[in-house]
Chain A
Amino acid sequence: MAVRWAWPLLIAALVAAGLLLAWADSTVLRGLFPYPFPDIRPRGRIRPPAVDLPLGAAAGPRLVFPGLGPTGGIYTFWWFLSAGAGIVLLVLAALVSMPARARRAAERVQPATVSLFAAAGVAAVLLVFAVSELLRATFILLSVVPFLWAVSLLAVVFGTGALALALGHWLRTRLGAAPPLLAALAAAVALVDVALVPVAGWIVLAAVAIVGLGVAVVTRLGSRGGWSLEELDW
């Protein structure tokens, strides 16, 4: 399948935007991140390495943005970047490991059903909280709580993958033919870009995660029969 030039261009632009947004995040939220390296030498005798300059710039004047302060440290920049890359990799891993299920779930994602999935996601979050508290109260089943959360996380990743696949499918109708995984990659990078918008981006990420959880729950991880139990009858 021939990939049109628009796709590499789009992904490159999205990655570049992600780098800039991670830089902006590291600038704005630098104060929230602790200095990552312990002092291994007594203070004052040997100067610690300058690790807080962006992109490894060793010398030169630091950039100061009006209202935002100096540019952030390389550590915070790297934290945001690796968190974004992790999200993209997890989403792609979900699509690669469960392609048929992801497709069935993605086919159910339409503008008219998003509100249904959002409501299901909110209800599922509350259910996980309530069940966790009930398991904790039983004491004996306390060990099940981490597995419950792990399954919930898996459902969030799967649902986000389905959303990325659906968004990628929509992009393919606009930009032309491309491998579905490439289109989903573009959609996932776009999602990470939005999530990296300083201060408010996490709200969008949380909303997408909740809708994704709803997609996974309502479609029962994209199973063919949904929540119908007819398959038990043979």
Chain B
Amino acid sequence: MRLEAAAGGPGRGCARVRSRLELLVDDRLDAGAAAAVRGHLAACPACRAHHQEAASLPSRLRALRSPDPPPALVGEVMRRVAPRGRALETWGLLVPEAVLVLVAAWYTSGTGGLVEIARRMASDAARALDWTTGAADSPAPVPGDLFMLLVTLLLAALTLWHLSLLARQSQKRPAP
């Protein structure tokens, strides 16, 4: 590598040497490049001053005293990283879900109607299983009920969305 000493001011060679001063101080230059840089430093007082400054930087940094943290630092950091109260995000969607359940309950003449639906569901499911083994006749198809279908479809979609939001919210929380 050909290095040119600066005559009247920093030339191109000086700029290249100065860009390598940190590497020289950290002893990360190969032997040839380091010798070239040192050769330039011997001839160039301005670059030598830069080198002295760079060489003394680690010791000067070490000599700096760490500032004392403010007493409230830990508390403030913990307050900021603590999971925020997300009650609305967590429970908010349960309101429309509960409304849908209430609508279904109203449509089926109260909670007794919902219980009756669950009972019939269990009975039909058991009968369907028996039917697959040949132990019973097939259950009768459920009469078409577009409104109830719509309500349950809406409820299923809403709860699925709610669960996806909760799963995402759970992943955002800091790991223990």
Contacts and interface: CB of A to CB of B under 8 A. Distances in A.
Contact of B170 (A134, A136, A145, A218): A218
B124 interface: yes
A107 B175 CA distance: 8
A110 B167 CA distance: 15
B171 interface: yes
A112 B159 contact: no
Contacts of B169: 116
B171 A226 contact: yes
Nearest to A220: B167
Interface string B146-176: 0011001101100110111011111101011
Contacts of B101: 126
B139 interface: yes
Contacts of B132: 143
Interface residues on B, range: 35 or more
A179 B155 CA distance: 43
A51 B80 CA distance: 64
A145 B121 contact: yes
A228 interface: yes
A112 B90 contact: no
Given A107-B176, A126-B159, A119 B125 contact: no
B93 interface: yes
Interface residues on A, range: 35 or more
Nearest to A106: B176
A91 B91 CA distance: 28
A134 B153 contact: yes
Interface string A80-108: 00000000000000000000000000011
A142 interface: yes
B121 A112 contact: no
B156 A131 contact: yes
B159 A123 contact: yes
Contacts of A139: 139, 141-142
A35 B63 CA distance: 88
| Residue in B117, B166, B173 with the greatest tally of chain A CB atoms within 10 Å | B166
A136 B126 CA distance: 12
Contacts of B152: 129-130, 133-134, 137
B124 A122 contact: no
B103 interface: no
Interface in B111-159: 117-118, 120-121, 124-126, 128-129, 132, 139, 141-142, 145, 148-149, 152-153, 155-156, 159
A152 interface: no
Contacts of B118: 129
Nearest to B84: A112
A146 B173 contact: no
B153 A119 contact: no
B22 interface: no
Given A116-B169, A119-B90, 6 more contacts: A119-B162, A122-B94, A123-B159, A123-B162, A133-B152, A227-B164
Interface of A: 107-108, 110, 112-113, 115-116, 119-120, 122-124, 126-127, 129-134, 136-137, 139, 142-143, 145-146, 149, 214, 217-220, 226-228
Closest 4 A-B residue pairs measured CB to CB? A127-B159, A130-B156, A145-B125, A130-B155
